[in-house]
Amino acid sequence: MANRRLPHENGGPSMNNKLQIRLPEHPERIDQDSEYCSVLLDGTWHDIRFHDYDRIFSIPGLYEQLFHDVLDCRSPDVVGKLLKEQIQADDVDASSLRVLDLGAGNGLVGEQLRTVGAQHLVGVDILTEASDAALRDRPEVYDEYRVLDFTALSEQDTAALARHEFNTLSCVAALGYGDIPPAAFRSAFNLVGDGGWIAFTIKDRFLGDEDTSGFARLIRRCQEAGVLEVRSSERYRHRLDIKGDPLYYVAIVGVKKADIPSGLEP
């Protein structure tokens, strides 16, 4: 398979050494949901789709190098900045934040939230590989990390999470594309106390009239029902695609006013 070589290749597969990565030779034929790269592992090139996070997280350093070094992902910084601005505007002590980080991956967002000042942070992801990667790469970030499917939480899981008394939900670059559906977002949202902060990002297309993910309707209904008060919204360049063109997302920070009732999500 033809691939184009990136100027980021030198070394072996570890957090301290650069992996050898190639992007497809004809990226114009590939949409965002099908993007992939090739990675040299033990002398063999392996094609890895960007949404195959289990494979990406299992390779130390790949997530950071691919999405942040090569494709210049800015989402954790943008969300951290917007959340910090809003809590400062409300004169809220950042150390009081008790965060549920939904779709936590290997902890990059959690690390940013620690920089903001959050003192209590629980990561959750549906993938065991994400939990393993977070414990491997950033063992100091989360007070607890749980592998859970938020579309099918048991009573015991819900009770265990509720004991953390969350007042903040973060969900960065994980909504849409089937990774975290509206029902899972609703479950996480409802674990945050009324008056708590909701901070998330989503591809701009999923908030428009052409949305097929259900999130445009969900967010609109939440605002109309007085469930979510949006305090800040910013369209920004999430990262580059494999062609080198910008992918735009929207970062939203708001205040939860009430639980999302059953049936409000699509």
Domains detected in the chain: 3-70 (no CATH), 75-256 (3.40.50.150)
Per-residue pLDDT at 12: 35
Whether 230 and 198 have beta carbons less than 8 Å apart is answered as no
CA angle 69, 25, 59 (to 5 degrees): 40
Residue listed under structure tokens 């009239």? 209
* Cβ neighbours, 10 Å, residue 169: 22
Dist. CA 238–CA 74, nearest whole Å? 5
The total number of residues shown for the chain amounts to: 266
Could you please report the per-residue DSSP string of 117-147? T--EEEEEES-HHHHHHHHHH-TTT-SEEEE
Q: In the numeric block, which tokens belong to residue 58?
A: 């299992």
pLDDT in the model for residue 264: 78
The span from the CA of 189 to the CA of 256, in Å, is 8
Non-local CB neighbours of 187 within 8 Å, separated by 6+ positions:
150, 151, 153
* Tens-binned pLDDT, residue by residue, of the chain (266 aa): 333 333 333 333 334 568 999 999 888 778 888 899 999 999 999 999 999 999 999 999 999 999 999 999 999 999 999 999 999 999 999 999 999 999 999 999 999 999 999 999 999 999 999 999 999 999 999 999 999 999 999 999 999 999 999 999 999 988 877 678 899 999 999 999 999 999 999 988 888 777 767 888 889 899 999 999 999 999 999 999 999 999 999 999 999 999 999 877 66
Q: What pLDDT is recorded for position 266?
A: 64
At residue 171, the pLDDT reads 96
pTM of the model: 0.90
186, 228 contact by CB (below 8 A): no
